[in-house]
Amino acid sequence: MPLLKLYRLATIAATPFAGAGLNWRASHGKEDRDRLDERLGVASRERPEGRLIWLHGASLGETVSLLPLVERFIQRGAEVLVTSGTVSSARILTQRLPAGAFHQYVPLDAPRFVNRFLDYWRPDIAVFAESELWPNMVASLRTRGVALLLANARISRKSAERWSGLPSAARRVFGAIDLCLAQDSENAARFLALGAPCVRIAGNLKFDVAPPPVDAARLAEFNGAVGARPVWAAVSTHAGEEELILAAHAEISKQIPNLLTVIAPRHRERGAEIAELAQAQGFATALRTRDGEPRRETQIYIADTIGELGLFFRSVGVVFMGKSLVPGGGQNPIEPAKLGCAVLYGPHIDNFNEIYTELAAAKAAARVADAAALARAAQYLLSEPARMRRMGRAGAEAVDKLGGASRAIMTAVEPFLAQVAASGR
């Protein structure tokens, strides 16, 4: 039996158990209990009149990268539906989506839920971010004649290799993409090899995203609590990295005894676990959701909130980007670079290699191999504020020069918009 047919049958068989699965996830904080019906394809608001463009990203990073396109589609007179699958992305989008755009959770990829969703929303064009392709959804869009575009398209080497081992399924899924707008030549080649019929290079949308916003009062409170203390941040850290950050803090503190280290884990629910780890090593530790602002004696400050990275990027001069000292592919450094932070990163950055290469070439970022190297680099920059500021300015200039993807993507989308207008939809 063909693999995609088997997948479809499996999702149909699992449909009766979807509610129970969602309730279990909600009990663990992985779903929004008040909006579970949206995951079953049930809308929680009315469809607006006129053209509707559907933009979809898997989670926070992907959906935020779509914000420049949201603005441009609204300027073209369309209403914009933005979907995602995570609680954190829904919260941030609620804050950042402009008038004319709204959020819903994406339905689970079972035919009943997908068809219910598409029957109600009737999108004119679907634009998915990176490589978020679900077989049943892709098939249903193709059956309905809805153009499917992949924007900011990126697929990791490992994912491409897995798909290439399933050539028939890959051709059916990737072959259904009407237009693939890849971030760079390397990703373009992967999508072509997997069967995407029309691939262009448009650049990385994340360079066009505005810096994360900040609440001015909270920024003032945090800076007032920190005062003149030297402070740096380790952001989007993953399990196994916090021990290395704490080791770096201990080493830096030998030379800078009043140092404050901010740790913002990628998954905020790990905050208490990280706090316990720091306390067990004898560090005075504060958890933002529990203890509020850091106190004078605080050494390790765990930023376990959602939507406040803009605050910390504006308050520190040095940022280490996580998921890079342990194997994982790295995290995107564009936001701290835009806000003038000197960026440090580990060796495991496969998913963002091109961005880090650009920043390193501009002398805006530096690679560190381990905790000892991280401590040396952070200590040097904290002790040499002029050097730290030069790195920050270089990063802001570099990412500004690399912008323009949203304009290129809209130019490529124009024929599809014209086709929708000509059809009278």
As annotated, the active-site residues are 62
The sign of the dihedral angle between the CA atoms of 366, 370, 373, 374 is positive
SS (H, E, C) the chain: CCHHHHHHHHHHHHHHHHHHHHHHHHHCCCCCHHHHHHHHCCCCCCCCCCCEEEEECCCHHHHHHCHHHHHHHHHCCCEEEEEECCHHHHHHHHHHCCCCEEEEECCCCCHHHHHHHHHHHCCCEEEEECCCCCHHHHHHHHHHCCEEEEEEECCCHHHHHHHHCCHHHHHHHHCCCCEEEECCHHHHHHHHHCCCCCEEECCCHHHCCCCCCCCHHHHHHHHHHHCCCCEEEEEEECCCCHHHHHHHHHHHHCCCCCCEEEEEECCHHHHHHHHHHHHHCCCCEEEHHHHCCCCCCCCEEECCCCCCHHHHHHHCCEEEECCCCCCCCCCCCHHHHHCCCEEEECCCCHHHHHHHHHHHHCCCEEECCCHHHHHHHHHHHHHCHHHHHHHHHHHHHHHHHCCCHHHHHHHHHHHHHHHHHHHCC
For residues 230 and 226, give the distance between their C-alpha atoms in angstroms, rounded to a whole number.
8
- Match 């504020």 to its residue by tokens: 385
- Under a CB-based contact definition with an 8 Å cutoff, are residues 134 and 164 in contact? no
Q: Report the DSSP pairing between strands 147-153 and 125-129.
A: parallel
For residues 330 and 420, give the distance between their C-alpha atoms in angstroms, rounded to a whole number.
39
Q: At 241, list the tokens.
A: 């990295």
